[in-house]
Structure 1
Amino acid sequence: MPGAKEKPMDEAGIRTLGSGAGGDMIFALSSGPVPAGVAVIRLSGPRTRFVLETICGTCPPPRRASLRDLRRPADGAVVDRALVLWFPGPASFTGEDVAELQCHGGRAVVAAVLEMLAMVPGCRMAEQGEFTRRAFDNDRMDLLEVEGLADLIAAETEAQRRLAMSQAGGALAAIYDGWRDRLTRARALIEAEFDFSDEEDVPDDVSAAVWEEVARLRTEIARHLERSQRAERLRSGVQVVLLGAPNAGKSSLLNALARRDVAIVTEEAGTTRDVIEVHMDLDGYPVTLVDTAGLREEAGLVEREGIRRALARAGDADLVLWLVAPQMDAADRVTGPPEGSTALWRIETKADAGEIWPDAGTGEQAFRLSVRSGEGVDALMSALAAFAADHVGGLDEPLAARERHRRHLEVCLAALGDALVERRSLEIRAEDLRRAGESLGRIAGRVGVEDLLDVIFREFCIGK
């Protein structure tokens, strides 16, 4: 910046820091993989201005893109010409001073810029999720917003993007904070009643009003938790398992639905020995297709393990597609799908063969198709998209999308249920309210989440 005081230089020609500066400077490539048209390299830390003055000569005005030559500290050689932005803290993503270098996206250029930054004393490459971790530590984001950001980065479908945006934008945290505030007020009123019961200005009927409010809150949380089951499934994707005897056409159907060769297809029975997954976007909803080993009685050791895994996945699936082919060998034929499947559709394959399919009554819905001719494949695809929309669609409110959220909400509900038991003492019921509020606080990271932080931030890539 013009008029800025020059920093002293060391023997290598690098500006040195004054006394009292501390904290690591981190940097990383924050844009997509190179080569690309533009690469964005992000820096964060208390000495961001020092780094910019070291490699650019001057620090640009805050929040204004400035064209600068990036020079190596040791010899002053120009590495690249880039747009440089400086965001003084705390009004930045991490809450610290932050800078972005928008340089050319060639591999050699990016490598040279990263090497140049590593030459500056106190600068190091960021670890996974370290930028976001600093935003959390500096109260720029709560834990729900952090997880929403991770889900937004990982979103593969439009429905997942909308769900993640509502969480990353703070809408879900606002709901939980509101519930927690109501619990705090309820506790305060209850504790006032048993601490100051002899005072005239404490109404006698305050307890009844408090417990009515707690009952309403419990109903709201229970409804939210029930609705959140769909949101949790939306985040992970609707699970559709292809099941049937060997050579029923499971792998061929998987390839046809995925529109690419994912699974090996041969005439030999038992080709598929393990579970194969394909993630798909059907009308904006995430669907995971799971190809499995063929079910038959006469199977070897390895094939039996594949069958065990197939049945396990079918037990956890949202939908089982039971494939039946005409004129199957007696050794490979199975009488029907395993009992207990949540939803089951019968898929009659190899329709171009023009023959008879066994056990015509199996399945809630029936489809006849031919992968070779394409007959019936589009109809099945449309039906799967409608099934996914019915299971995870229509989520127009912020909802809990992770198992961690669900566990804490369940603890909160249980504590509220205990608090509503009238035969318990008032002191114990107030403690139940405290436990419920603490469970809500843990969801957003307000209390006691230190043991989770490393796990959560490892979900991010380097540079975020």
Structure 2
Amino acid sequence: MDTIFALASAPGKAGVSIIRISGPDARSVVAKMGARLEPHDRKLVTLLDRDGVLIDQAFALSFSEGRSFTGEEVVELHTHGSPSIVAAVQDHLSELGLRLADPGEFTRRAMENGRLDLAQVEGLADLIDAETESQRRQAVRVFSGELGTLAEKWRKDLIRAVALLEATIDFADEEVPEDVYPEVNALITSVSAEVESEAKGVAVRERIRDGFEIALVGPPNSGKSTLLNRLAGREAAITSDIAGTTRDVIEVRMDVAGFPVTFLDTAGIRESDDQLEALGIEHGRRRASRADMRIHLVEPDEMPDQISDSDLNVISKSDLRPTKDRLSVSGIDGTGIDALLNRISNFLADQVADAGVATRLRHEKALVAARVHLSEVQAMLQSSADEVDILAEELHTAIRCLDSLIGRVDVENVLDEIFLSFCIGK
């Protein structure tokens, strides 16, 4: 495999820049630049160009094969963060035969070398993109390998079930210690319930990654745009006393108590003969219907009953009409904003309570597919089906679905489980 390099820190002027080199020639190439390193070494070095002229003094770290992020021999050069220094070092590395890494190639090598599974790679991508605390926490859980640990647990239980079934196939004429069906059924029932629960939570975990949407809805001049501007801390929407000022959906992305939230200012709901305004109202209705939560701005004497937790009724313009004992806000002076944000954060916290670690549509499809095959096995067991080979194949397929969560498809150790469980050859 060839040796690659790339800037591992952010581009531009900085106090320190980090250039990462990975591959079998990492240390030998750096040695040609005047920096001789032992495996798993760290020291201050001088970096020289091809004419022996000093490029920079740098702090160098070397990681031996099997003990680095990529699993390969790695050298990191911590140089002064001048763009000209970084360019000079990279140009010289290219002259010495190294190749500039492709996007994500270090992480790809880490996965290929068994340092990360596929789910951890996705978690790392989410961690890099995380903007809020909830996104960071979720990404860390995936990156730390929780999904892989869960998949491994399911895999172990299902392999045990397969081993029990295949023992009855391969050794039907031999004396099998006991009826294996009750244990098989118990294992499948347990895994199936956990898989189903994990699959159901994917949608809300996707929202943590991509952001929740909260729509501000109400009639014209109910204070939606003013409230949006107060929440955003800037003039995000045009405000006026003229009804129908807002015609398109205006979006403002915010961090609310660690949750990524996009507030939507929608057109005032009313009957209109203006074709453009009517289109804006309909578009706003559709966006609001798909939002995770809707804030309905209402008059004090028109306070309707609460429809659901995701539809919050709020009295608007409390600066003009103070209201006690009911949630009211003012986009002008900020009255009630903290209470409103607290209600929103509590709602979002409830949505993500007991969240699992499957976060992507790919995960959901794999979990649902596995659940379908497990359901087939459960149904066949309930009907006392004697087609053991079909039961085993359905379980094999379910295992492959779950293995796809972490990018692994390998069921060869089913034989190991058979030998350990039944002492075959005794």
Equivalent residue in structure 2 for 1:445, among 391, 394, 407: 407
Unaligned runs of 5+ in 1: 1-22, 328-334, 357-364, 449-464
Q: Kindly provide the amino acid, as one letter, of the partner of residue 98 in structure 1.
A: V
1:40 maps to: 18
2:46 aligned with 1:69, yes or no?
yes
In the alignment, the residues of structure 2 paired with residue 193 and residue 266 of structure 1 have an alpha-carbon distance, to the nearest angstrom, of 78
Q: Kindly provide the amino acid, as one letter, of the partner of residue 196 in structure 1.
A: F
Equivalent residue in structure 2 for 1:205, among 146, 161, 179: 179
| Gap change, CA 1:294 and 1:98, over 3 Å in 2 | farther
Which is worse superposed, 93-102 or 385-394?
A: 385-394
Equivalent residue in structure 1 for 2:198, among 205, 214, 224: 224
In the alignment, the residues of structure 1 paired with residue 281 and residue 168 of structure 2 have an alpha-carbon distance, to the nearest angstrom, of 63
| Gap change, CA 1:121 and 1:272, over 3 Å in 2 | farther
2:392 aligned with 1:434, yes or no?
no
- For residue 327 of structure 2, give the secondary structure of its aligned residue in structure 1: strand
TM-score by length of 2: 0.85
1:54 maps to: 32
2:151 aligned with 1:194, yes or no?
no
| Gap change, CA 1:37 and 1:244, over 3 Å in 2 | same
Pairwise CA distance, 1:290: 2.2
In the alignment, the residues of structure 1 paired with residue 14 and residue 273 of structure 2 have an alpha-carbon distance, to the nearest angstrom, of 51
In the alignment, the residues of structure 2 paired with residue 129 and residue 299 of structure 1 have an alpha-carbon distance, to the nearest angstrom, of 53
- For residue 444 of structure 1, give the secondary structure of its aligned residue in structure 2: coil
In the alignment, the residues of structure 1 paired with residue 273 and residue 11 of structure 2 have an alpha-carbon distance, to the nearest angstrom, of 45
- For residue 194 of structure 1, give the secondary structure of its aligned residue in structure 2: helix
The count of corresponding residues between Structure 1 and Structure 2 is 404
Q: What is the CA RMSD across the aligned residues, in angstroms?
A: 2.9
1:201-250 deviations in Å (ceiling 9; x for gaps):
x1351123212221222223223334555433333333211123344322
- For residue 166 of structure 2, give the secondary structure of its aligned residue in structure 1: helix
Equivalent residue in structure 1 for 2:311, among 317, 322, 344: 344
2:366 maps to: 408
Pairwise CA distance, 1:435: 1.4
Equivalent residue in structure 2 for 1:133, among 72, 88, 108: 108
1:15 maps to: none
In the alignment, the residues of structure 1 paired with residue 83 and residue 397 of structure 2 have an alpha-carbon distance, to the nearest angstrom, of 53
In the alignment, the residues of structure 2 paired with residue 49 and residue 248 of structure 1 have an alpha-carbon distance, to the nearest angstrom, of 67
Pairwise CA distance, 1:302: 4.7
In the alignment, the residues of structure 2 paired with residue 156 and residue 129 of structure 1 have an alpha-carbon distance, to the nearest angstrom, of 20
- For residue 89 of structure 1, give the secondary structure of its aligned residue in structure 2: coil
Q: Kindly provide the amino acid, as one letter, of the partner of residue 348 in structure 1.
A: I
Which is worse superposed, 81-90 or 245-254?
A: 245-254
- For residue 358 of structure 2, give the secondary structure of its aligned residue in structure 1: coil
1:456 maps to: none
* 8 Å Cα contact 2:303-2:313 kept in structure 1: no
2:57 aligned with 1:95, yes or no?
no
| Identical amino acids, percent of aligned pairs | 43
Residues 29-428 of structure 1 correspond to what in structure 2 (within 5 A)? Answer: 29-55=7-33, 57-73=34-50, 75-124=51-100, 126-200=101-175, 202-298=176-272, 300=274, 302-324=276-298, 343-354=310-321, 367-393=327-353, 395=355, 398-422=356-380, 423=383, 424=385, 425-428=387-390
In the alignment, the residues of structure 2 paired with residue 348 and residue 118 of structure 1 have an alpha-carbon distance, to the nearest angstrom, of 65
In the alignment, the residues of structure 1 paired with residue 321 and residue 378 of structure 2 have an alpha-carbon distance, to the nearest angstrom, of 65
Q: Kindly provide the amino acid, as one letter, of the partner of residue 51 in structure 1.
A: V
Q: Kindly provide the amino acid, as one letter, of the partner of residue 31 in structure 1.
A: S
| Gap change, CA 1:299 and 1:121, over 3 Å in 2 | farther
| Gap change, CA 1:109 and 1:387, over 3 Å in 2 | same
1:402-432 deviations in Å (ceiling 9; x for gaps):
2211111111111111001233432222221
Unaligned runs of 5+ in 2: 411-426
Which is worse superposed, 256-265 or 128-137?
A: 256-265
Residues 8-47 of structure 1 correspond to what in structure 2 (within 5 A)? Answer: 23-47=1-25
- For residue 368 of structure 1, give the secondary structure of its aligned residue in structure 2: coil
- For residue 353 of structure 1, give the secondary structure of its aligned residue in structure 2: coil
* 8 Å Cα contact 1:249-1:325 kept in structure 2: no
In the alignment, the residues of structure 2 paired with residue 155 and residue 168 of structure 1 have an alpha-carbon distance, to the nearest angstrom, of 12
2:423 maps to: none
* 8 Å Cα contact 2:202-2:359 kept in structure 1: yes
Q: Kindly provide the amino acid, as one letter, of the partner of residue 352 in structure 1.
A: D
1:172-204 deviations in Å (ceiling 9; x for gaps):
20111111121112112112212321112x135
1:78-103 deviations in Å (ceiling 9; x for gaps):
22221111112222111122111111
In the alignment, the residues of structure 2 paired with residue 133 and residue 168 of structure 1 have an alpha-carbon distance, to the nearest angstrom, of 14
- For residue 182 of structure 2, give the secondary structure of its aligned residue in structure 1: helix
In the alignment, the residues of structure 2 paired with residue 273 and residue 109 of structure 1 have an alpha-carbon distance, to the nearest angstrom, of 52
Pairwise CA distance, 1:24: 3.4
2:421 maps to: none
| Gap change, CA 1:399 and 1:299, over 3 Å in 2 | farther
* 8 Å Cα contact 1:257-1:381 kept in structure 2: no
TM-score by length of 1: 0.79
